């Protein structure tokens, strides 16, 4: 039997900066389209990893460095979760990677494009952090400067405790008032279409890039918080 610590050690050795584990019962209220238990029958655990996003990218006057790091981390996270899935499968269990950014499912119930599972929710259930008003995961060590991936597996592991701390102050609305297209209102979901139409696409007729990350950079906890 592989322990939770052994799985975490392996994930870190593959390049993850953070790793947390959630038991499958923590996702029981989710719809079938994004429920790990439905995506991999007989699954018992969701292993969530995070990579630290380069802090300096949000200080640049150009969006090119941010786009480079986002694309790089997405590829690296997929490599880590795929390697971890192979490691678990060779140990006698089933395991599948969820993908860092794509492919995605269209959820007609909430009218949103979603990953195979909600990585932010999975990270919360795995004790890695808390979702802020900006709808981003905020971790104690790296703040919201993280990129996420996950593995769904039939291996039964000891889950991590869920963080109960409240991060965003009631009086703080920096991410809401500074969003250029009013895509954030403090709800659990942002206006995805409004955000994507503004933030993603070609720059002045040139190449594709991520043109806005104000909700990340304006956050007082962009670089971490104390429990």
Query: Contact 166/209 with Cβ under 8 angstroms?
Result: no
User: Residues 6 or more apart from 65 whose CB is under 8 A from it?
Assistant: 54, 56, 57
pLDDT for the residue 106: 85
Going by the DSSP 8-state scheme, the letter that residue 203 receives in this structure is S
Instruction: Say what percent of the chain tops pLDDT 90.
Output: 84
Going by the DSSP 8-state scheme, the letter that residue 206 receives in this structure is S
**Residue 227's pLDDT band (cuts 50, 70, 90):** low
pLDDT for the residue 206: 85
Q: How many CB atoms lie within 10 A of CB 227?
A: 6
For tokens 């950079």, the residue is 217
CB-based burial, 194-223: b 16+ in 10 Å, e otherwise: ebeeebeeeeeeeeebbbbbbbbbbbebbe
pLDDT for the residue 22: 98
Taking the whole predicted model, whether its pTM rises above 0.75 is answered as: yes
């Amino acid at each position: 039997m592989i322990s939770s610590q052994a799985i975490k050690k392996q994930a870190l050795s593959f390049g993850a900066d953070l790793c947390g584990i959630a038991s499958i019962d923590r996702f029981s209220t989710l719809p079938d389209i994004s429920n790990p238990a439905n995506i991999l029958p007989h699954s018992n655990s969701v292993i969530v990893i995070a990579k630290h996003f380069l802090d300096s990218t949000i200080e640049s006057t150009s969006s090119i460095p941010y786009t480079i790091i986002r694309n790089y981390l997405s590829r690296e996270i997929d490599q880590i979760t795929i390697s971890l899935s192979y490691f678990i499968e060779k140990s006698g269990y089933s395991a599948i990677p969820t993908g860092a950014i794509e492919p995605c499912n269209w959820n007609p119930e909430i009218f949103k494009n979603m990953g195979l599972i909600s990585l932010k929710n999975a990270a919360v259930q795995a004790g890695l952090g808390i979702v802020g008003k900006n709808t981003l995961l905020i971790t104690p060590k790296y703040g919201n400067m993280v990129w996420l991936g996950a593995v769904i597996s039939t291996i039964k592991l000891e889950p991590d405790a869920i963080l109960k701390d409240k991060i965003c102050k009631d009086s703080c609305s920096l991410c809401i008032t500074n969003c250029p297209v009013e895509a954030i209102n403090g709800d659990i979901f942002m206006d995805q279409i409004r955000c994507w139409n503004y933030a993603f696409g070609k720059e002045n007729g040139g190449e594709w890039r991520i043109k806005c990350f104000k909700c990340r950079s304006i956050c007082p906890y962009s670089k971490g918080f104390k429990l």
